[in-house]
Amino acid sequence: MNTLTREFSMTINGKAVTTEQTVPVLNPANETVIAQVPKASQQDLNNAVKAARAAFTAWSAVSIEERASKLEAFSDAIIQQREELANLFTAEMGRPINGGFSSYMEIDSACHWCKVIARYRLPREIIEDNESHTIERYYTPLGVAGLIVPWNFPVLLAMWKIAPALLAGNTIVVKPSPYTPLTTLRIGEIARDIFPAGVFNVVTGENELGQWMTEHPDINKISFTGSTATGKKVLQSAAVNLKRVTLELGGNDAAIVLEDADPKEVVPKLFWAAFSNTAQICVATKRLYVHEKIYDEFLDEFKQYTKNIPIGDGMNPDTLIGPVQNKMQYEKVKALIEDAKSTGTNIVCGGTVEDKTGYFIPITIVDNPPEDARVVTEEAFGPVLPVIKYSNYDEVITKANNTDYGLAGSVWGKDLNLARSIAERLETGTVWINEAHILLPNVPFGGHKQSGIGVENSIEGLKEYTNTKTIMIKKK
């Protein structure tokens, strides 16, 4: 897709807002600027927060059924624009338009999430009800929620925040990543016709805008998805007015392949566990531990499988893996590959990045690097994967846990009792057995250790947009 002819505007108080200064948005497949988006000033942010604050009183007072019906209408309206949004998404994000992990999937999943979350209701609990006392506990919205989103799943991860924040009665200011703002801005336009003015605001700009949000005295909650490094800054700035925070941060997920696993069966699944979305998934398999008894056969299978995967421009209907989303990430992944090469580690696939237009990196598999290699210890967030040999289960559990991250992990093999006992010992928020990155709206998702604070999804995720409130009535 070449330069887009339409103008993109922020949504503030139900109206389109543009700015004189703009931020360019690139198509990562060809590095051309496809659009310019508004660059919000602090005043623009103040206007959005003021509008959200003003709308809060009425929005929090309408029934949850009414808020849910608006969310359902929102989901239906997005689906009606599905084709345009999926194409826009591929243009800014690079994700293939077709295939299992496609741009259509992003839009469809976001709408599905919105509908499922809209069906949740916050409980009112009677803790005690006797002759002398009634004690009731319920949940109240927090106020204005600032929702900060990364570039790897810009629409779905925004919806993970938008739906529960609004259902609980908060008003919102959404900030997409500067790399992928277009689809979110379009969704903001759709929201203008559905939600009362001020309830749903979208602002765009550079990273400083995120920081202004976290420091803003009239934002009550920040729900942030992004890197652990930025998450730490968010937590610090949020202290200014004791904002509530949910932090969904980085990961360095280990997959452990047991000695009884059948390489032919598990290799295709593990390939996609690692490389879907060009490996730019927080819960992608980023370290792959394989038992020594099957290591050689497994690595051969993996190499063979990798050969047949079409990599290219996401607009090409045959492409299954697109470019890395942005230059910064592209340079980071290239540096990890160069580092692995410089230490003499065997690279069994890929490893050479062609000097051509677009942020394309071949699937690169690093054969048994040492545990302290950068490619093992750092979150690559791109198509380079260390495959590491191990000989006993205690050893591999120790290695898998030897990281500050604790997002997710997986175990693969036929002995489900063994797999389960390993899963219980992994220090992560989620462990899958014989599958990977299955995320569902009714299942809480969150990181342990430095992978985050709090959870998203499920009733637990909804409660993160509320205060708990108790009313005690003394009867006698």
CB 147 within 8 A of CB 165: yes
- Which of 92, 106, 248, 301 is an active site residue? 248
The Cβ of residue 443 has, within 10 Å, a number of other Cβ atoms equal to 14
What torsion do the CA atoms of 88, 94, 436, 71 make, to the nearest 10 degrees? -20
Q: Choose between 259 and 456: whose C-beta lies nearer to ligand NAD.
A: 456
- Which of 111, 114, 282, 349 is an active site residue? 282
CB 60 within 8 A of CB 24: no
Q: Which of 9, 183, 225, 319 touches ligand NAD by CB under 6 A? A: 225
Measured over the CA atoms of residue 258, residue 261, residue 264 and residue 267, the dihedral's sign is negative
Q: Does residue number 151 form part of the binding site for ligand NAD (CB under 6 A)?
A: yes
Question: What is the nearest approach in angstroms of ligand NAD to the Cβ of residue 127?
Answer: 33
Q: Which of 29, 148, 182, 191 touches ligand NAD by CB under 6 A? A: 148
Distance CA 141, CA 465 (A): 6
Q: Does residue number 234 form part of the binding site for ligand NAD (CB under 6 A)?
A: yes
Closest chain position to ligand NAD (CB): 210
Q: Does residue number 285 form part of the binding site for ligand NAD (CB under 6 A)?
A: no
255 DSSP β-pair partners: 288, 410
Which token pair is 52?
Answer: 């959200």
Distance CA 326, CA 317 (A): 21
Compose the 265-284 pattern: x for residues touching ligand NAD by CB under 6 A, - for all others.
Answer: -----------------x--
DSSP string, 141-163: E-SEEEEE--SSSHHHHHHHHHH
For residue 282, indicate whether it is catalytic: yes
Distance CA 110, CA 104 (A): 10
Q: Which of 94, 164, 251, 413 touches ligand NAD by CB under 6 A? A: 251
Pick the piece of the chain touching ligand NAD (CB under 6 A) from 14-22, 100-108, 130-138, 244-252. 244-252
Distance CA 264, CA 389 (A): 18
Distance CA 217, CA 388 (A): 48
Q: Choose between 358 and 452: whose C-beta lies nearer to ligand NAD.
A: 452
Amino acid letter for position 165: A
Q: Does residue number 226 form part of the binding site for ligand NAD (CB under 6 A)?
A: yes
Distance CA 67, CA 63 (A): 7
Pick the piece of the chain touching ligand NAD (CB under 6 A) from 80-88, 243-251, 350-358, 364-372. 243-251
Q: Does residue number 330 form part of the binding site for ligand NAD (CB under 6 A)?
A: no
Count of residues of this chain found to bind ligand NAD when the rule CB under 6 A is applied = 30
Q: Which of 183, 201, 214, 403 touches ligand NAD by CB under 6 A? A: 214
Q: Which of 99, 150, 386, 413 touches ligand NAD by CB under 6 A? A: 150
Amino acid letter for position 34: I
Question: What is the nearest approach in angstroms of ligand NAD to the Cβ of residue 22?
Answer: 16
Q: Does residue number 384 form part of the binding site for ligand NAD (CB under 6 A)?
A: no
Distance CA 57, CA 233 (A): 30
Residues 6+ apart with CB under 8 A from 142: 168, 170, 220, 221, 244, 465, 466, 467
Distance CA 167, CA 305 (A): 44
Residues 6+ apart with CB under 8 A from 236: none
169-198: contacts with ligand NAD (CB under 6 A) = 175, 177-178
Q: Does residue number 69 form part of the binding site for ligand NAD (CB under 6 A)?
A: no
Pick the piece of the chain touching ligand NAD (CB under 6 A) from 39-47, 112-120, 229-237, 336-344. 229-237
Residues 6+ apart with CB under 8 A from 344: none
Q: Choose between 299 and 408: whose C-beta lies nearer to ligand NAD.
A: 408
What do you get for the CA distance between the two ends of the chain, in Å?
Answer: 72
Q: Does residue number 390 form part of the binding site for ligand NAD (CB under 6 A)?
A: no
Question: What is the nearest approach in angstroms of ligand NAD to the Cβ of residue 396?
Answer: 22
Q: Choose between 62 and 239: whose C-beta lies nearer to ligand NAD.
A: 239
412-451: contacts with ligand NAD (CB under 6 A) = 447
Q: Does residue number 207 form part of the binding site for ligand NAD (CB under 6 A)?
A: yes
**Which three-class secondary structure state does DSSP give residue 336?**
helix
Which token pair is 289?
Answer: 């531990």
Pick the piece of the chain touching ligand NAD (CB under 6 A) from 10-18, 97-105, 136-144, 223-231. 223-231
Q: Which of 18, 22, 211, 316 touches ligand NAD by CB under 6 A? A: 211
Pick the piece of the chain touching ligand NAD (CB under 6 A) from 24-32, 120-128, 238-246, 247-255. 247-255
Which token pair is 195?
Answer: 């939600």
How long, in residues, is the chain? 476
Catalytic residues: 248, 282
User: Which residues contribute to the site for ligand NAD (CB under 6 A)?
Assistant: 148-153, 157, 175, 177-178, 207, 210-211, 214, 225-227, 230, 233-234, 248-251, 282, 379, 381, 407, 447, 452
